[in-house]
Amino acid sequence: MLVALRDWVVNGHRPPHSRYATLRGRTLVPAHGVRFPSIPGVTFVGGFNSRQVLDRGRDFDAQDDSGVMDEPPAVRYTYRELLPQVDADGNEVDGVRSTQLRVPLGTYSGWNTRRVNFGNPDLCDLSGQYIPFAVHKADRKGDPRRSVEERYGSKKGYMARVMAAVEDQVEEGLLLPDDAATIITQEMARNIGLP
């Protein structure tokens, strides 16, 4: 992206199109509108960590975080909570989609819940999670997401999809050719559970 920025400033080449979730595109939605799949063993709480604007009283200086606070502080308002919409795999549909999202082996979420007996279903601040797909259809056990085998058939099929995704990213100006070669090498070495 920095190369694209430089080319835009120095040579007048247009940068890649912006890719972010929007209300208009219905890819930025209220928490209750996120269509997260029902994955066995995963608790989707339908929200992120809410934030509020608090009034700590007139004797508290919010600029330097000092003074005497009123306890409990008064809640002035809660920020509207909007979340990115997800696809059938639970991966966000907008944004700059990496090769791992274009050719997924699992769900990559920007949130995670605490473990049972330690605050579940509260969210872990700033922690995401990876939920791998079953390798074979028979292993899905109620998981609505297609298995690795159903998606790609074989390691060769997986690599064909990786190659196409990497080529698209280079063409879109989102990936440098050197980085594309690195990703291809890494994915060739990855064990996806299929021959």
Span 3-23, pLDDT tens digits = 888 888 999 988 888 889 999
Token pair belonging to 81: 């909570």
The DSSP code for 107 is E
Per-residue pLDDT of 78-100, as tens digits, reads: 988 899 999 999 999 999 999 99
The dihedral sign for the CA sequence 168, 188, 127, 33: positive
- Between CA 131 and CA 136, with CA 135 as vertex, the angle to 5 degrees is 130
Residue 34 has pLDDT above 80, yes or no: yes
Alpha-carbon gap, residue 43 to 94, rounded angstroms: 23
The predicted pLDDT at position 49 comes to: 65
Query: How does residue 148 score in pLDDT terms, banded at 50, 70 and 90?
Result: very high
Residue 120 has pLDDT above 80, yes or no: no
- Between CA 61 and CA 66, with CA 62 as vertex, the angle to 5 degrees is 50
Host H or E run for residue 168: helix 155-171
Residue 186 has pLDDT above 70, yes or no: yes
Percent of the chain at pLDDT > 70 equals: 98
The predicted pLDDT at position 47 comes to: 67
Alpha-carbon gap, residue 9 to 1, rounded angstroms: 12
pTM of the predicted structure, to 2 decimals: 0.82
CA distances to 14, 40, 46, 191 from 108, in Å: 30, 15, 16, 18
Cβ(166)–Cβ(187) under 8 Å? Answer: no
Average pLDDT (38-65) is 86
Cβ-Cβ contacts under 8 Å for 50 (sequence gap 6 or more): 78, 79, 81
Alpha-carbon gap, residue 78 to 67, rounded angstroms: 23
Bond preceding residue 121 cis, omega within 30 of 0 = yes
Token pair belonging to 84: 């990115």
Token pair belonging to 72: 């409990």
